Amino acid sequence: MKYLPPFTISFSETSDSPCRELVAGRHFRLGFDSWERMFWTNPSPRLLDLLRIAMSVYTVDRLVRRERQSQKHRWFRSLRLTVAVNEPEFWVQKDVLGTLTECLEFLSGDSWELTFIREARDVPYPATLFRPFDEPPLVCLYSGGLDSAAGLGIRTGENSSRPVIPVTVWHQPHQQVPIRQQFECLKQRYGVSISPLVVKAAIVWSSELAERKRKQESSQRCRSFLFAAVGAVAAAISEVSTIEVFESGVGAINLPLMAGMVGSKATRGSHPHFLRLMSRLASLVAEREVSFCLPFAGKTKGEMVAQLARVGLGELARSTVSCVHYPLHDRPHKQCGVCPACIFRRQAMMVAGIEEPQGTYKYDLFSQDYESSGIEERHLEYLKAFLLQVANLGPLEPGVRVPLRVQRHLLGTNVVPPGESTTAVLNLLSRYRDEWLNLAAHGMVDHDWEWTNLMAPIGATLIGRENYASA
């Protein structure tokens, strides 16, 4: 496999800590042969610089561990990074550097001080020919999760003649097989032409980085920046102006489940403001309009999956994995069932009416009696958080004051740009709330799910007025 040509970076964790120097190819690698196979060409020097910066940011984000709350330090990091690039004069321009820095700081919640130097190595750029498609392809970011599969299934069903380039950054060995199976499912169903662009990203855990491996950062918020950068380069080379991100509106907004889940403790990889910043940066780099869009911004996850189920693609949904602990080394279970991603997935699958095989989840919160299933109280933490969030979404009807927590998130993180109406977002969140309430009512009456007792006193009506999540 060919990797990104060698270049150097240096980084430090604080203003007074020593710099550590790394070299691409020796300490970290980003796959490079995919571009030649797909387009018969390589990225331009400036697009190559974007990939270099993105991989450097991803590497530093993993190697510099955040201090835990139990320690007397802040979760926030102050990072200094120098990257060798082909065109340093471009990257230090005020608009370019400002957009890049804002993008990283919004995504990671950290402070980034970026410096660029000229790459000393002579990197060859072969004069190859771009292979055009019969029509502009659909370029999309593809993770292999439930939203990705549902979005791609819906979009290919709408226009099966349009070629598709799903972009995947491969960072763990278990990703490729299920993703390949999902593509085959859609090819067989619609006859669609799918040409995946799979780019491998890896840190080389040599003896030099052995200590860092044991203490690497698990949050990895900047992986989304690398993912988006690869998508932007793919769009620029294939001469399309839009990169689609298949995330539900509720997932993109990502209301904090708990009071402390803000800033870098919240995932913002599909957040509307992050995608607006990435669109601006990609357009500056490509010197033409390139934008990231959320085609399902007006839908809940359940609505997306239900649309997939209506066209008979329930098996595609079942083939996906959402668990944050994947791969779960506890066969035959693929997913834990109690992390936020599993609970969000399970709610959507049940709203869509898609049944999953027994044993899919290690802990089954949707069994008749989770207490007898061996689920400890600590495993209910995130379920309770979801239920409390649903309770807080209660007063979203017209003429009723928007809950302060919701309003603060929508406006404070620029989900809705200043001056724009919040009506569409509030309608979306209202439907999401009603999905949960209907599901709870169904579970209380027909299945005797234990967790429904957390939502309301026994005998209370779940659909409509008073609903309270128990702490």
Domain boundaries, the chain: 322-454
What tokens does 251 get? 């997932």
Report the C-alpha gap between 113 and 153 in whole angstroms: 41
pLDDT of residue 422: 87
Where b means 16+ CB within 10 Å and e means fewer, 421-459 reads ebeebbebbbbbbbbbbebbbebbeeeebbbbebbbeee
How many angstroms separate the CA atoms of 383 and 387, rounded? 6
Residues 158, 151: contact at Cβ < 8 Å?
Answer: no
The H or E element that residue 237 is part of is helix 223-238
Q: Are 7 and 83 in contact (CB under 8 A)?
A: yes
pLDDT of 129 = 56
Helix ranges restricted to H, 239-380: 249-253, 272-286, 301-310, 314-318, 340-351
**At which residue do the structure tokens 């007063």 appear?**
395
Contact 412, 271 (CB under 8 A): no
pTM for this one?
Answer: 0.90
CA distance 336 to 360: 8
The amino acid sitting at 108 is: S
Q: Which two tokens stand for residue 155?
A: 């979009």
- Tell me which residue has tokens 């929508």: 410
Give mean pLDDT in consecutive 10-residue pieces for the chain, a chain of 471 residues. 89 83 95 82 90 97 79 72 96 98 95 93 58 85 95 96 94 79 95 94 89 82 95 94 97 81 66 97 97 98 97 94 74 81 94 90 75 68 89 74 85 90 91 92 80 60 40 37
What distance in Å separates the CA atoms of residue 430 and residue 398, rounded to the nearest whole number? 11
Strands 138-141 and 111-118: unpaired
Sign of the CA dihedral running 282, 288, 294, 297: positive
What separation in angstroms does the CA of 468 have from each of 238, 250, 401, 465?
51, 21, 18, 10
How many Cα neighbours within 13 Å face the side chain of 189?
A: 23
